[in-house]
């Protein structure tokens, strides 16, 4: 797939029929080649094993590269049209949380900002009223798996499908529309993920920048990471579903978010939900779903 300006890897365009990424195709060919070699030259087995190990090392690097596109299209920035409108997208992972998410929503309302919440299906099922409130306030709810398993990137295709489809069903049933976007736990992406996403009508999203607010406790440092070279078209990641706290006991995201929103306002940037930012690039059916949300 060709890329366009405003995206490091692939544009947020209409979903095509799934085609394996170049690295996946090369890996299949590589496995076939080494198998043929092993059949014809059994004594070369040490070299065959080394070749297979090298291939799997490259695949592992791709899995551990959240913003990479070796394993398939990856939205790391908004489309050019959104950047031209001075838009960025704030995204929140791992929620909803009954104590933190409502406060995040209040802060977003105070600054007139919209965002996308990548919710865990299990938590969405536990707190459906919060999910409904997210949508009612003009934000979008997206897919972040059903249970957020740490080993998600190493699941087989059936395991990936169960996690994604379960979250898709639960979130869609609560919010009124199925999610349009997906982000893997910790951003670690399985080589087998793309055909599952295509079957569910989902686009893969990572980010332009993140502040590590789920693991760090220094709001000024997190804010600096998020705002350094911040530009229109960026996709930022925060976490409303983590209990990380500052040394004073304040949830880190609540300490960082007001300052971040003030920074956006001071620099003429507007945060919008992903379906809004990418609406011109969605298929007609998905555009209608995004407009109805």
pLDDT of amino acid 17: 66
Question: Which residues are bridge partners to 273 per DSSP?
Answer: none
Residue 144 annotated to the active site = no
pLDDT of amino acid 273: 98
Q: Which of 11, 35, 63 is the last residue of a domain?
A: 63
Is 164 in the same domain as 52? no
Instruction: Look at the chain and report how many structural domains it folds into.
Output: 2
Average pLDDT over residues 96-101: 97
Q: Which of 93, 94, 213, 234 is catalytic?
A: 93
- Report yes or no: 138 and 273 within 8 Å, Cβ to Cβ: yes
pLDDT of amino acid 11: 40
Answer whether residue 5 is part of any domain.
Answer: no
Write out the residue range of the structural domain in which residue 210 sits: 80-292
Average pLDDT over residues 219-227: 97
pLDDT at 286 over 50: no
Answer whether residue 74 is part of any domain.
Answer: no
pTM of the shown model? 0.86
Q: Which of 36, 63, 90 is the last residue of a domain?
A: 63
Residue 263 annotated to the active site = no
167 compared with 16, residue with greater pLDDT: 167
CA dihedral 153, 159, 160, 162 (to 10 degrees): -150
Is 55 in the same domain as 84? no
pLDDT at 98 over 80: yes
Answer whether residue 16 is part of any domain.
Answer: no
Percentage of the chain surpassing pLDDT 70?
89
Which band of pLDDT confidence, cut at 50, 70 and 90, is reported for residue 8? Answer: very low
Q: Which of 139, 144, 148, 239 is catalytic?
A: 239
pLDDT of amino acid 148: 97
E strand map for the chain: 87-93, 115-119, 140-143, 181-182, 203-204, 209-210, 235-239, 270-271
pLDDT at 246 over 50: yes
């Amino acid at each position: 797939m060709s890329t366009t300006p405003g995206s490091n890897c692939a544009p947020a365009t209409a979903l095509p029929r799934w085609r394996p990424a170049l690295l996946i195709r090369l890996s299949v060919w590589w496995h076939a080649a080494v198998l043929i070699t092993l059949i014809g030259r059994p004594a070369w087995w040490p070299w065959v094993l080394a070749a297979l190990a090298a291939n799997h090392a490259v695949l592992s690097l791709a899995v551990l590269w959240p913003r990479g596109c070796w394993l398939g299209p990856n939205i790391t920035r908004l489309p050019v049209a959104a950047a031209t409108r001075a838009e960025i997208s704030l995204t929140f992972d791992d929620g909803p949380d009954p104590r933190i998410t409502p406060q995040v929503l209040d802060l977003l309302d105070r600054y007139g900002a919209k965002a996308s919440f990548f919710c865990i299906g299990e938590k969405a099922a536990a707190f459906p009223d919060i999910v409904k409130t997210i949508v009612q306030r003009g934000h979008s709810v997206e897919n972040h798996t059903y249970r957020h398993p740490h080993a998600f990137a190493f699941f087989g295709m059936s395991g990936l499908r169960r996690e994604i489809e379960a979250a898709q069903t639960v979130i869609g049933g609560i919010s009124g529309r199925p999610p349009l976007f997906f982000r893997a736990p910790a951003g670690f992406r399985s080589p087998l993920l793309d055909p599952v996403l295509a079957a569910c009508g989902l686009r893969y999203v990572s980010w332009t920048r993140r502040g590590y607010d789920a693991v760090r406790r220094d709001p000024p440092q997190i804010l600096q990471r998020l705002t350094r070279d911040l530009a229109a078209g960026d996709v930022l990641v925060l976490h409303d579903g983590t209990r990380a706290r500052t040394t004073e006991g304040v949830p880190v995201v609540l300490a960082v978010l007001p300052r971040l929103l003030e920074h956006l306002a001071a620099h003429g940037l507007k945060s919008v939900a992903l379906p809004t930012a990418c609406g011109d690039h969605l298929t007609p059916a998905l555009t209608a779903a995004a407009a109805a949300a």
